[in-house]
């Protein structure tokens, strides 16, 4: 009989084998992220990436905001579903990644549909004039609650916020007390108590909290 860990591995293998392959650009970007950065675990990866692309294609949003570009994998997935004339705004704090990010966007043919900004998202969000159909949060975990407050009036009614890493390797239901774990717990608690949103946590990869703005 398979152990639980073996079952998870076999499940992931089966799912991968029976899902559409990722694009050559995303495969290239995944390799380059492993080769050219020290934090490849931060990559969204095929499982979450396919979900983000599917969600975006279903919505066909005109405006998407992303907090935490990293090397641009999730940006490409999200921007692939933009409506004609749409734009994705993405904010990254580490400008040393710019060359890799822009090369990935160019390979995907999306450089004209993505506006890349560098800096602290908490400072940039209040300067944005757009109202967004979809927001994806995958930035500093200890700042998730602040992002939620800043985004409240930046998401249209009926629009969505997707927050990544909300299960935090299972630490959110453990006795862990580090600042990142406590911050994500606080975010999940605040979301479920906020009457402005309907939410659901999807246990894909490290957990996605999907919020619909009422």
* Tens-place pLDDT, residues 5-33: 666 577 778 888 898 889 999 999 999 99
Both structure tokens of 173:
């239901």
Residue 32 counted as domain residue: no
> pLDDT confidence of 1, banded at 50, 70, 90?
low
Asked if the structure places residue 8 within a domain, the reply is: no
Instruction: Give the CATH number for residue 152.
Output: 3.40.50.150
In a domain, 36, yes or no: no
87 within domain boundaries: yes
Q: Report if residue 6 sits inside a domain.
A: no
Give the mean model confidence (pLDDT) for residues 196-200: 97
Residue 186 lies in a domain: yes
Coil vs helix vs strand at 143:
helix
Is the pTM higher than 0.85? yes
Residue 180's pLDDT is: 95
> In the chain, pLDDT over 90 holds for what percent of residues?
83
Number of neighbouring beta carbons within 10 Å of residue 72: 31
In this predicted model, what pLDDT tens digit does every residue of 131-177 receive, in sequence order? Answer: 999 999 999 999 999 999 999 999 999 999 999 999 999 999 999 89
Is 2 a member of any domain? Answer: no
pLDDT of residue 7: 63
Give me the pLDDT at residue 12, please.
75
Q: Give the C-alpha separation, 60 to 81, whole Å.
A: 5
186 phi and psi angles, rounded to 5 deg? -60, -40
Please check whether residue 101 lies inside any domain of the structure.
yes
pLDDT of residue 4: 55
Domains in the chain, number: 1
130: exposed, middle or buried (C-beta count within 10 Å: 0-12, 13-18, 19+)? middle
Cα(188)–Cα(180) distance, integer angstroms: 12
Mean model confidence pLDDT for the chain: 94
| Distance (Å) of CA 155 to CA 7, 14, 145 | 39, 36, 15
Can you give the residue range of the structural domain that contains 136? 44-213
């Amino acid at each position: 009989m398979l152990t639980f860990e073996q079952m998870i591995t076999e499940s992931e293998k089966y799912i991968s084998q029976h899902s559409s392959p990722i694009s050559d650009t995303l495969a290239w970007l995944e390799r380059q992220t492993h080769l050219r950065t020290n934090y490849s675990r931060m990559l969204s990866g095929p499982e979450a990436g396919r979900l983000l692309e599917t969600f975006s294609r279903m919505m066909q949003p005109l405006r998407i905001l992303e907090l935490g570009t990293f090397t641009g994998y999730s940006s490409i997935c999200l921007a692939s579903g933009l409506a004609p004339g749409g734009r994705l705004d993405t904010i990254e704090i580490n400008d040393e990644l710019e060359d890799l990010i822009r090369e990935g966007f160019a390979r995907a043919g999306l450089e004209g549909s993505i506006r890349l900004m560098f800096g602290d998202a908490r400072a940039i969000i209040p300067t944005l004039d757009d109202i967004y159909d979809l927001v994806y949060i995958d930035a500093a975990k200890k700042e998730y609650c602040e992002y939620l407050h800043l985004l409240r009036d930046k998401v249209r009614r009926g629009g969505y916020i997707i927050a990544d890493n909300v299960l935090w390797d299972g630490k959110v239901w453990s006795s862990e007390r580090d600042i990142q774990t406590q911050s994500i717990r606080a975010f999940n608690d605040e979301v479920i108590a906020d009457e402005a949103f309907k939410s659901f946590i999807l246990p894909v990869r490290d957990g996605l909290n999907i919020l619909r703005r009422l």
